[in-house]
């Protein structure tokens, strides 16, 4: 039987703060395939997430189909808007949700990984991060600060992670990010520069596939997922309408599930996809191929 086998691999999944998003689903699927998993969690959500784990509040979500349990090897505080400690403003360092973490930057997590596991500690890096401070604003009403904030948190963070974690990858390692079809089609309500951030993310995926492939031997891919009602996605404000519309008009007329995306992520992270790089894989029940609404 042909199976995805990630035994002996270590993954870092950046962007896990609860059990409801794509990041958590991907972590579960990677663990199911045999990988050990470390999580990167936004510092303001770190305490809540670790308490959920400690108090058994998400035990059911942690259970794998085999009966085993997803156990995170490490949970690192990560704010991917900051590349290194030198760029963190003093007022943020003193924020009560940040000050307990010594170095929550991308370089800080890279250093922690090496300190915990050695010089080449990771095989798989998943970027499940996106934030647009003005996502509910139409593009015409988005400020420069809001627009650049969306690009910084949602797009450049991936570039920075490939820069700093690429040298830490073992042979055959891979990077993966999550995008959305607002990169190429108009999705009313998905504003604040987030559509531009996703378009840039897909472009960067192609360029990074070339550059990181030559520099580190790493593969770089993206998954364009259909809409999913994670807690983070509720910030968009129209997520319910997005799901209803795509479900009605897709070739497979039903909503996607987080596990659909997770399964695709496990494939792209595995040796089965050893020759796949620079790709954007749609996991959206085929909605991306439609040119007009489906007939009733």
Per domain, the residue ranges of the chain are 10-285
Residue pair 290/250 in contact (Cβ under 8 Å)? The answer is yes
- Residue numbers annotated as active site: 180, 190
Question: pLDDT value at position 231?
Answer: 65
Residue 146 has a CB neighbour count (10 Å cut-off) of 20
Note the Cα 66 to chain centre separation in Å. 25
Q: What is the pLDDT of residues 91-135, one digit of tens each?
A: 999 999 999 999 999 999 999 999 999 999 999 999 999 999 999
Residue 46 is predicted with a pLDDT of 97
CATH of 10-285, one of 3.80.30.20, 3.40.50.720, 1.10.3720.10, 3.30.420.40: 3.40.50.720
Give the DSSP H/E element, type plus range, for residue 179: strand 169-179
* Cα 63 from Cα 69, distance rounded (Å): 5
Residues in contact with 176: Cβ distance below 8 Å, sequence separation at least 6, in sequence order: 124, 125, 126, 127, 220, 221, 222, 223, 265, 268, 269
Nearest to 20 by CA among 229, 219, 238, 247: 229
Question: For residue 65, what are the contacts with CB-CB under 8 A and spacing of at least 6?
Answer: 32
Question: pLDDT value at position 142?
Answer: 98
Q: Where are the alpha helices (DSSP H) in the chain?
A: 22-32, 43-54, 59-62, 90-93, 106-117, 144-151, 157-165, 194-216, 239-249, 258-268
Q: From residue 226, how far is each of 61, 258, 264 by CA, in Å?
A: 22, 10, 13
Q: Cβ distance 166 to 107 under 8 Å?
A: no
Q: Which residues of the chain have pLDDT under 50?
A: none
pTM above 0.85, yes or no: yes
pLDDT in tens, 58-85: 999 999 998 999 999 999 999 999 999 9
Q: Residue 185 has what DSSP assignment?
A: S
């Amino acid at each position: 039987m042909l199976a995805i086998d990630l035994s002996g691999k270590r993954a870092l999944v950046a962007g896990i703060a609860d059990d409801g998003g794509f990041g958590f689903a991907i972590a579960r699927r990677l663990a199911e395939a045999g990988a050990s998993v470390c999580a990167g969690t936004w510092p303001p959500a770190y305490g809540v997430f670790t308490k959920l784990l400690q108090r058994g509040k998400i035990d059911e979500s942690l259970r794998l189909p085999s009966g085993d349990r997803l156990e995170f090897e490490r949970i690192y505080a990560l704010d991917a808007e900051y590349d290194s400690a030198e760029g963190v403003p003093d007022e943020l360092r003193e924020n009560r949700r940040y000050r307990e973490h010594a170095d929550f930057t991308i370089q800080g997590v890279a250093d922690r990984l090496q300190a915990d596991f050695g010089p080449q500690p990771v095989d798989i890096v998943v970027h499940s991060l996106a934030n647009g401070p003005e996502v509910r604003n139409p593009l015409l009403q988005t400020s420069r600060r809001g627009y650049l904030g969306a690009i910084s948190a949602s797009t450049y963070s991936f570039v920075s992670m490939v820069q700093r974690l690429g040298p830490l990858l073992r042979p055959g390692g891979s990077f993966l990010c999550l995008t959305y079809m607002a990169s190429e089609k108009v999705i009313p309500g998905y504003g604040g520069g987030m559509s531009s951030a996703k378009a840039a993310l897909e472009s960067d995926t192609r360029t990074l596939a070339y550059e990181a492939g030559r520099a580190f031997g790493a593969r770089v891919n993206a998954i364009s997922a259909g809409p999913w009602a994670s807690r983070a996605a509720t910030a968009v404000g129209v997520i319910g309408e997005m799901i209803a519309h795509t479900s009605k008009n897709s070739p497979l007329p039903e909503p996607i599930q987080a596990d659909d995306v997770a399964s695709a992520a496990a494939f792209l992270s595995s040796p089965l996809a050893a020759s796949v790089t620079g790709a954007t894989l749609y996991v959206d029940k085929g909605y991306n191929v439609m040119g007009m609404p489906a007939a009733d």
